[in-house]
Amino acid sequence: MRAFVLSKYKTPVRDVNVQEPVVGAHDVLVRVQAAGVNQLDVKLSQGEFALILPYRLPTALGHDLAGTVIRVGAGVRGFAPGDEVYARPRDHRIGAFAERIAVDESDIARKPATVSMEEAGSLPLVALTAWQALVELGGVRPGHKVLIHAGAGGVGSIAIQLAKHLGAEVATTASAANAEFVRLLGADHVIDYRSQDFEELLGGYDLVLDSLGGENLEKSLRILRRGGRTIGISGPPTPAFAREAGLNPLLRLAIGALSRRIRSQAKRLGVEYSFLWMRASGEQLGRIADLVDGGSIRPVVGRVFPFDETVAALDSLSTGGFRGKAVIAVP
């Protein structure tokens, strides 16, 4: 079958023929019809996570998908051939930029019935990121004040909608051209990141979801109330993450050094900094599908690329020019 494979870090993926997926007892074999394109694919291809998430190359990229079940393993009871599903395969089992993929049944859920394959394929990674940041780590409740950076992007556009569903007062950063768009998603306050400084305009926030890092992350700590939390999805990773990931002692020390400055700043301010590395969860995708079908969340697909243009789809993440997610349609 065809797949877009990374053979060497810092090189483009290549369209090659690979072996058919091996379907284990608890796996679901899916014919991929749409695959979301994520910054994680780009960062992985550049070798940015080679220490904390080492892949044996060559490997197909692609972290989320929607498609139709072809076959199930002997131990699978919740899915059958013909089911329309969506998933974020777990780490070390990615490979959605392919015609078919075997996914552990616990990582998969039935596709939201009210959206297209392309819309469903755009959701798993960004929706799980938003869910785990706002619901699991953030514990967002009615009345909370939440800032979501880059509100017109893949994670931001879903996180705004989820935060509003949870009853939060939502602020976001976006360009002036996207101000009305993010308001329609549910943002109560929109800060033009080109002409305004969110640190001067906001204060007393319960939670910040930061996807940018650097100075933006440091300023995010300073708009929190005491006891508030900033959740970073771009890093730096923390010792807590290193422990949970089971990294070796040397890597744990290195990661502790990387995040020491931001953790010290948070401690001085009486706030928290957490690093989120999103994990696969079919159960959470099932709950997200209910929100989509109920009208609380709508996918935002900015551009659809044909399967043959997968390399261009990955390149589009650096040039931008569209809202939400880029998606690859697999014939």
Give the model's pLDDT for residue 245. 84
Phi, psi of 2 (to 5 degrees): -85, 145
Give the model's pLDDT for residue 209. 98
What CATH number has the domain spanning 2-122+299-329? 3.90.180.10
Give the model's pLDDT for residue 247. 87
Give the model's pLDDT for residue 62. 98
Give the model's pLDDT for residue 50. 85
Helix residue spans in the chain (DSSP H): 39-45, 117-121, 124-131, 154-165, 179-185, 198-201, 214-222, 239-245, 249-269, 282-293, 310-319
Give the model's pLDDT for residue 117. 98
> Which tokens hold the place of 223?
């708009």
Give the model's pLDDT for residue 150. 96
Can you give the residue ranges of every domain in the chain?
A: 2-122+299-329, 125-275
> Which tokens hold the place of 73?
């393993």
Give the model's pLDDT for residue 190. 98
Cβ neighbors of 232 (< 8 A, separation 6 or more) are 210, 211, 213, 217, 273, 274, 275, 276
Which helix (H) or strand (E) element contains residue 103? strand 100-104
- Asked whether the bond before 89 is cis by omega within 30 degrees of 0, the reply is no
> Which tokens hold the place of 249?
């002692």
What CATH number has the domain spanning 125-275? 3.40.50.720
Closest Cα partner for 156 from 121, 129, 194, 195? 129
Give the model's pLDDT for residue 93. 97
Per-residue pLDDT of the chain (331 residues; tens, 9 = 90+): 999 999 999 999 999 999 999 999 999 999 999 999 999 999 999 998 888 888 999 999 999 999 999 999 999 999 999 999 999 999 999 999 999 999 999 999 999 999 999 999 999 999 999 999 999 999 999 999 999 999 999 999 999 999 999 999 999 999 999 999 999 999 999 999 999 999 999 999 999 999 999 999 999 999 999 999 999 999 899 999 999 888 888 889 988 999 999 999 999 999 999 999 999 999 999 999 999 999 999 999 999 999 999 999 999 998 877 899 999 999 8
DSSP string, 30-90: EEEEEEEE-HHHHHHHTTTTTTTS---SSEE---EEEEEEEEE-TT--S--TT-EEEE-PP
Give the model's pLDDT for residue 304. 97
Give the model's pLDDT for residue 320. 75
Phi, psi of 105 (to 5 degrees): -60, -25
Q: What are residue 6's DSSP bridge partners?
A: 59
Residue 272's SS3 state is strand
Q: CB atoms < 10 A from the CB of 186, how many?
A: 21
302, 322 contact by CB (below 8 A): yes
> Which tokens hold the place of 121?
């394929």
